[in-house]
Amino acid sequence: MATDVSPLDGVPLLDVENLQIELITAHGVIRAVDGVSFTVGEGETVTLIGESGSGKSTTAMGVLRLLPEGLAVLSGSVRIAGRDVVADPRAARALRGRTVSLIPQDPMTALSPVHTIGRQLGDALRLRHPGLSRAETRERGTELLAQVHVPRPETRWKAYPHQFSGGMLQRVLIAVALAAEPRLLIADEPTSALDATVQAGVLDLLMELQEVEGIGMLMITHDLGVARVVSDRIHVMKEGRFVESGPAGTIVDRPAEPYTRALLAAVPRLGAWDEDGLTGAVAR
Amino acid sequence: MPKYLARRLGQSLLTVFLTLTTVFLLVRLAPGDPAAAYAGPTATTADLARIRGEFGLDQPLIQQYGIFLRDLLTGNLGTSYSFRAPALDVVLDRMPYTITLAVAAIAVTAVVAVPLGVWMARRADSKRELGANVLTITGQSMPDFWTGVMLLTVFAVLLPVLPASGFTSWSGLVLPTVTVAILQLALISRLVRREMTTALNSPYITVARSRGFSERALTWRYALGNSGVPLITAIGTRFAALLNGVVVVEVVFGWPGVGSLVVRALETRDYPLIQATVLVTATLAILVQLLVDLAYPLLDPRVRLGKAA
């Protein structure tokens, strides 16, 4: 689908090697990410899972070079389609919105509140294809909105973010991410700000898109249920390091580390459904 | 929308009326006698009594107020004591000068302060930004009469390139405009900096950056677009204040606007002239405020007219 597809010759889409990220804070320097290495290939989903503060989102933002300049120090290497964005921040700028896209954590704050959905999606489309006319932009944009199952995309084109629900906004943001025709999607907790009933729909959509488009995906989540459903491989992260890595099934069904078992134990499970619905509907 | 407009206009009328009433009472409570100011130091008691009768000041306050209101309805604001002409006409003659100065000063302010504030926000906390900060704080701290006199000394006396006083040619507009603008742009650029710093640190900017937008597009399109409401509010409020006349600057530069008129009206206790000035400037200020309010829904779609009021 992307116009500039170059064969990777066995080079992974995303190749992270010994990545360290130090954050400069008011309380001193914090090593948020401490030497992690992983790869994501075409059509693969790799998940980083861990509790809050484990460094998983910092890793994702570091890969995109979106951490504040001067407050984050990166070392090691991050190669996206062969280009090292740690050594060359300009490479990151060139890759963002073209080869790699982000699906952000909180859809409610991720779009400019004073610009229409169409304007923001259109801007993203024209960044990828500068020659698009207004009508062509709108046509492709509504197609994208339809693809992510936003109802009545033609009429929604002129709507503002505050006129959408969180789940619908996340779909819009996925459409904006797809406008870049990326080969790699970085999804930073794409469902954590959404209601449980909406989460499943957004995950289904991501998996559907991946199947159709063959995009590689780096998923960040704290939810093992999500990780189990979408991932090929899972890396369990704690205090900036990977404590356990492996295929999704193995990590979820036969976790070796106590930390992973603790994460598993934190997942809510559906209990037996009582006829009167009063007891044990959801047992933790 | 028409309903909202009607209600706002009604509120505005009430505001102007209450302001006029307050001023009507206050000028009469203040010490000083218009008749004495009019007649001069050699006037006899009989002269003063005759003049008071002529001005209608010998009647009880409540009756004076009744006459004032009755005349107001017909658009008659009385005759200025010192100009011996309809007070409203005297004020309206001066208005173009005040409006010219206000428009020029606010235009210079907007053209300089917005880019300066944006630049400061993007270079936040760098050494050069610190320098700009020092400059704007200095600008904010200099009293306008002092700035005016300094500019006069340099550009009209030491290097006589610009006229010192009055409005005989457009070059006469330069020094008063710069004097007014220095203070305003110090205030506005610091506000732009604050608003833009907040906007540039918003999640939607980071997400937009992840889409590959240039820093220029992020700054001017997304961040500035989101700073529209506070910016227009600040500029509108400053503009409304300038329309009331920049008293000190007008006096320093001999500018024939409403500001210097008000000084003269107060000195001579020219009640009708004071009242006419207040009516005109208050109406203008309220109109500008109304225009600013009407601009909100254009700048921020989350603002719905009527609901907010």
pTM of the model: 0.79
Evaluate the CA torsion angle A156, A161, A165, A168 in order and state its sign.
positive
Higher per-residue confidence, B51 vs A169: A169
| Tokens encoding B53 | 């009768």
Q: What is the pLDDT of residue A277?
A: 44
Q: What is the pLDDT of residue A272?
A: 56
The closest CB to that of B225, out of A97, A115, A160, belongs to A115
Q: How confident is the model at residue B309 (pLDDT cuts 50, 70, 90)?
A: very low
Determine the angle formed by the axes of helices B174-200 and B87-122, rounding to 10 degrees: 40
What is the ipTM for the molecules in this complex? Answer: 0.83
Query: Smallest CA–CA separation between A68 and chain B, in Å?
Result: 9
User: Is B38 part of any domain?
Assistant: no
Paired with A24 in beta bridges are A29
Q: What is the pLDDT of residue A1?
A: 43
Residue B137 has pLDDT above 90, yes or no: no
Q: Are B51 and B38 in contact (CB under 8 A)?
A: yes
Q: What is the pLDDT of residue A268?
A: 62
Mean pLDDT of A166-189: 91
Q: How confident is the model at residue A270 (pLDDT cuts 50, 70, 90)?
A: low
Question: Taking Cα atoms as reference points, which of A41, A86, A28, A81 lies closest to residue A59?
Answer: A86
Locate tokens 């700028």: which residue?
Answer: A93
Q: How many CB pairs under 8 A join A and B?
A: 72
Q: What is the pLDDT of residue B104?
A: 93
Residue B78 has pLDDT above 60, yes or no: yes
Residue A284 has pLDDT above 60, yes or no: no
Mean pLDDT of A146-164: 90
Distance between CA A26 and CA A57 in Å, rounded? 20
User: Is B35 part of any domain?
Assistant: no
Q: Are A70 and A98 in contact (CB under 8 A)?
A: no
Residue B226 and residue A113: Cβ atoms within 8 Å?
Answer: yes
User: Is B279 part of any domain?
Assistant: yes
Report the 10 Å Cβ neighbour count for A118. Answer: 21
- B298 at A interface, C-beta within 8 A: no
Q: How confident is the model at residue B122 (pLDDT cuts 50, 70, 90)?
A: confident
Q: What is the pLDDT of residue B170?
A: 75
The closest CB to that of B210, out of A64, A112, A162, belongs to A64
Mean pLDDT of A168-193: 90
Question: Taking Cα atoms as reference points, which of A144, A104, A105 lies closest to residue A122?
Answer: A144
The closest CB to that of A102, out of B210, B221, B299, belongs to B210
The predicted-structure confidence for A86-137, as pLDDT tens digits, reads as follows 999 889 989 998 899 999 988 899 999 999 999 999 999 998 898 899 999 9
User: Is B253 part of any domain?
Assistant: yes
Distance between CA B196 and CA B228 in Å, rounded? 10
The predicted-structure confidence for B29-40, as pLDDT tens digits, reads as follows 887 788 877 777
Q: How confident is the model at residue A271 (pLDDT cuts 50, 70, 90)?
A: low
Q: What is the pLDDT of residue B114?
A: 92
Q: What is the pLDDT of residue A8?
A: 58
Report the 10 Å Cβ neighbour count for B228. Answer: 16
Containing H/E element for B287?
Answer: helix B271-299
Alpha carbon distances (Å) from B294 to B3, B229, B288, B309: 13, 11, 10, 11
Q: What is the pLDDT of residue B228?
A: 86
Query: Smallest CA–CA separation between B32 and chain A, in Å?
Result: 55
Q: Which of residues 196-235 of B touch A (CB under 8 A)?
A: 202-204, 206-213, 217, 221-222, 225-226, 228
Which CATH number do you get for residue B278? 1.10.3720.10
The predicted-structure confidence for B265-285, as pLDDT tens digits, reads as follows 988 888 999 999 999 999 998
Higher per-residue confidence, B129 vs A156: A156
Provide the 3-class DSSP secondary structure of residue B218: helix
- Counting the structural domains of chain B, the total is 1
Provide the 3-class DSSP secondary structure of residue B86: strand
Across chain A, what does the average pLDDT equal?
A: 86
Q: Are B72 and B93 in contact (CB under 8 A)?
A: no
| Tokens encoding A172 | 């819009």
User: Is B41 part of any domain?
Assistant: no
The predicted-structure confidence for B148-192, as pLDDT tens digits, reads as follows 888 888 887 787 777 777 766 777 788 889 988 988 888 899 899
Structural domain span for residue B199 = 87-299
Paired with A245 in beta bridges are A235
Question: What amino acid occupies position B62?
Answer: I
Provide the 3-class DSSP secondary structure of residue B79: strand
The predicted-structure confidence for B237-253, as pLDDT tens digits, reads as follows 899 888 876 888 888 88
Query: Smallest CA–CA separation between B289 and chain A, in Å?
Result: 22
Q: What is the pLDDT of residue A267?
A: 65
User: Is B168 part of any domain?
Assistant: yes
Across chain B, what does the average pLDDT equal?
A: 85
Q: How confident is the model at residue A2 (pLDDT cuts 50, 70, 90)?
A: very low
Higher per-residue confidence, A269 vs B61: B61
What DSSP assignment string belongs to chain A? Answer: --TT----TT--SEEEEEEEEEEEETTEEEEEEEEEEEEE-TT-EEEEE--TTSSHHHHHHHHTT-SPTTTEEEEEEEEETTEETTT-HHHHHHHBTTTEEEE-S-GGGSS-TTS-HHHHHHHHHHHH-TT--HHHHHHHHHHHHHHTT-SSHHHHTT--GGGS-HHHHHHHHHHHHHHT--SEEEEESTTTTS-HHHHHHHHHHHHHHHHHH--EEEEEES-HHHHHHH-SEEEEEETTEEEEEEEHHHHHHS--SHHHHHHHHTS-EE-PPPTTS-S-SEE-
User: Is B9 part of any domain?
Assistant: no
